[in-house]
Every structure is written in C-alpha cells, then in structure tokens.
Amino acid sequence: MAVVREFTLPDLGEGLTEAVIVQWLVEVGEVVAVDQPVVEVETAKAMVEVPCPYGGVVTARFGAAGTEVPVGAPLVTVAVGAAPEDSAGRGSAPGSANGSASVAVPADPAPGAEGAGTDAAGSGNVLVGYGTSGAAARRRRILPSAAEAPARRSATPAPPATTNGTATNGTATNGTATGDAAGTAVADGPRTVAVISPLVRRIAREHDLDLREVRGSGRDGLILRTDVESAVRALGERQSAAARTAGTADAAGPVPGEERIPLKGLRGAAAEKFSRSRREIPDATCWVDADATDLLATRRAMNVPGAPKVSLLALLARICTAALARYPELNATVDTAAQEIVRLPAVHLGFAAQTDRGLVVPVVRDAQGRTVEQLSAEIARLTDAARAGKLSPAELSRGTFTLNNYGVFGVDGSTPILNHPEAAMLGVGRIAAKPWVHDGELAVREVVQLSFTFDHRVCDGGIAGGFLRYVADCVEQPALLLRSL
C-alpha cells in the first residue's frame, strides 16, 4: 500500500527563514525520482532548485508561484509506491489548494511499509534540514474517516469555551482537550522563551523587544527570526500610530494610480541590509582623483595575444588586497553584542554586480592569495553566475571588504552604503580624459575618482586616508605592486 510522505521546505542555510516560490517543476500526478528538483524558489540570497528526497507520485502541491513559504512549511506530498493514476485521482480532490489535497493513508501500515518504495535507500542529495536516511519518519496528514470526522470536530474545543484546558461543549478523549502548549503557559504563568538562534536574541535586544511577548511559529513554539522581525515591525507601527495625528492619518490614504512593489526576496533582503547599515554603522567617506593612464597601459601590456584576458576590475581587486595587507585594521567587523572589533585573517573580496534581479555582491574567497589572472577568472565566473541567477548562498555571503565599480554607470563619485557588517568599501568612478599636470606640464590624462567609505569605529581618519592614498599611488604607478608580489 502506498505511503504518503510530506516534503517541507528545508533549511537552505545562511540563516534563511523563508523563500518565494518562483515556479513548480512538477505537476500533481507526475512521477518523481529521488532527489529530482520539484520547485524553484528565490531566497534572499539566490535562486535555488529544491530536490525532493522521496520518489513516487506527487499527490499535492502547496502554494502558487509568488507565494512566500517559511522553512518547515509543506511543499509537496509524495505517494511512495503508488501507481500514477491512483495518486493523480486523489491529488485533484475537491477543496484542494492549487489542484491538490491531503491524501488518506493507512493508520497502521504493515511492518516494513514505512521504508518501502522508491526512496528506501534514502536521498543522496543533502540540504540543510534533511538528510539521506530513508528510515527517518516524516510527518503526514491523515484524513479521518466519515465516522470519525464528527467525533473529531466535537473533540476540538473552541478557544472561548475552554477553562484550564477542559472543553465545555463536546467531549474529547478522557473528557478533556489540550490546547496550544505556549498558550497554556501564558495563562498559567510565565512562558518559557523558546529561542535557539543567538541572532534572534540579538535582534530582540537591539529593538528592546520582550521575547516573552512573541509567539513562535516554529515547531513546538520555537521563536524564529521572522517572528521577531514581525514583532519589531508591529511595535514600530504601534509607536508610529500613537504619534500620528488624526489629520495625518486621513491624508495617508492610497493615491489613485500608485504602484506598490513588495519588498520580498532579493529586493527585500537588500532593503533590510541597507537600513541596518545606516542604523548601526557610523560611516565616513573620503575621496581623491588619480591618474589611471599608466594602469590602463599596464592592462594592455598584460593582455597579449594568446594569454587569458585580465580585467580592469581584477587589477583594482589586486590593489585592494595589497592595501589591506598594509592596513589590516580595515579588514574587520564590529561585534556589537560583545563590543569588540574583530579583525579577520582572510580577505573575502565582494564586488557589486548589477543584474536583472537587482544588485548582488558576489564574493571572491581568499582574494589575498590570488594573482591578477586568477582574480580576473574568478570575477568573470561569478559575474556570469550572477546574471544567470545561479549564485549559491555561500557565494553571496561572508564578505569582508567590497569593491564597488559604479563607474560603469558613467558617474564620477559616490558615497555608498557599507555592506553590513563589513567595515570598508572602495568606490571607483568612471575613467575619463581630463586635463592633468604630468611631469610639470599640462596634459590630457585618463583620470578616475576614488572614494573610500569606512566604519569610523574600526579606525580613525589617518588609517582611512593612508589606505586611499596607497590605492591611488598604485593606480598611478602600478609598478608599486611589485613590492608585494
């Protein structure tokens, strides 16, 4: 007999708590193999195809394209060992969401039936949150029979009609009905705060939020990051509403013809990061003009026929790693909880890349140990993956320093927002022909404006100025890099 397995959205790593369904890759009634991708989702980091660890017939799908799904919520149910035509009929039952419904399963399966079927050997594709064991028990919903349904409905107490957990109308098993564990704890005494993540506690602490007042949406009442962020937003809305006058409230209605764009997925993650950076980091910016004529000549000399091409961004990246070796104070972050500056041993260099999905910052790992040629190849690979939407969460996180080439947009200067929690960012404007004094004479040279934004908590102006001056000197005289090769 078929065993119906429920596959939930796994933990995709990097602290991600939800994802948005982009498109379904399977239909209800379709036969899927173990580890076959069933849905494509967009997280705050990247687009991900999610493989299902079960093989069988898809009996239900949960959520349409564009739906935001939290980690742990069901994605599909799969009938393991079922014939396609049998499960397809059940999957299109009336009342189902998205053309699917819960599937009845035997209450007492025969011994050995739980692990039998296509996925007996387990999944070989490991995502955070589910593994490769085929014997791990999976939650599945069981439809009550026609005789049991009225009894179950009568056994479910209505919240207003309960006193100390005892139902007043209808009779449950042993004459009592047990409510939500967290709700009971609140009624009877102080509720235990169910929090695992230190990040959740830190967010609550930064916004003066009492976690005892937050109802967790995770398993067994676990408080997730989304719960805390929702509570913070609700707190802010209540405070704003209290300060808003009646006249202001009347004038805040929707404007005819306005367009509202949800801050979700990549756009929402970027907005949250920008806001947090402005809230937490006391940044400052300095800038300088530099003659990039010799740098361009050096690049032309490197790009000889038959050799791998070296990009200008790779040369600037190499200059950054050399400058960070001289000024390691800037390859750092600030631990606000411990009130400590954390200097990092490796340079994970991020670079801003504009894509159809918005701004992303791919990260070149261990950039300090790469040559210009290696940096150029890795930057090209990450750029192609970013434009195709195929960057993994690991390739978009844990950077320590960012290089921002906004000159590609035809602008000279900028005061960018730091990529939280990084402490510094180098901005590069367009390279344009301008009058410049060279060797005591006025000449037309290729000039670029460099801007440097830094966290004033990790260093003073002397360190920042020294870093930027060294970068400008290397741009003007690339031979200085030979000292650090």
CA angle 258, 260, 265 (to 5 degrees): 165
Q: Specify whether 438 is catalytic.
A: no
Token pair of 19 as six digits: 């994802």
Instruction: Tell me the sheet residues that pair with 437.
Output: 442
DSSP string covering 264-295: -HHHHHHHHHHHHHHHH--EEEEEEEEE-HHH
Backbone angles phi, psi at 40, to 5 degrees: -105, 125
- The closest of 317, 147, 99 to 90, measured between CA atoms, is 99
The SS3 call for residue 66 is coil
316-to-22, 323, 386, 477 alpha-carbon distances in Å: 36, 10, 20, 13
Token pair of 276 as six digits: 């947090």
Determine the distance from the C-alpha atom of residue 273 to the mean position of all C-alpha atoms in its chain, rounded to a whole number.
Answer: 11
Report the C-alpha gap between 437 and 439 in whole angstroms. 7
Q: Indicate the DSSP class of residue 369.
A: G
Burial tier of 425 (Cβ tally within 10 Å: 0-12, 13-18, 19+): buried
Burial tier of 345 (Cβ tally within 10 Å: 0-12, 13-18, 19+): exposed
Residue of 207, 420, 438, 456 with catalytic role? 456
Report the C-alpha gap between 233 and 239 in whole angstroms. 10
CB atoms within 10 A of CB 406: 18
Catalytic residue positions?
456
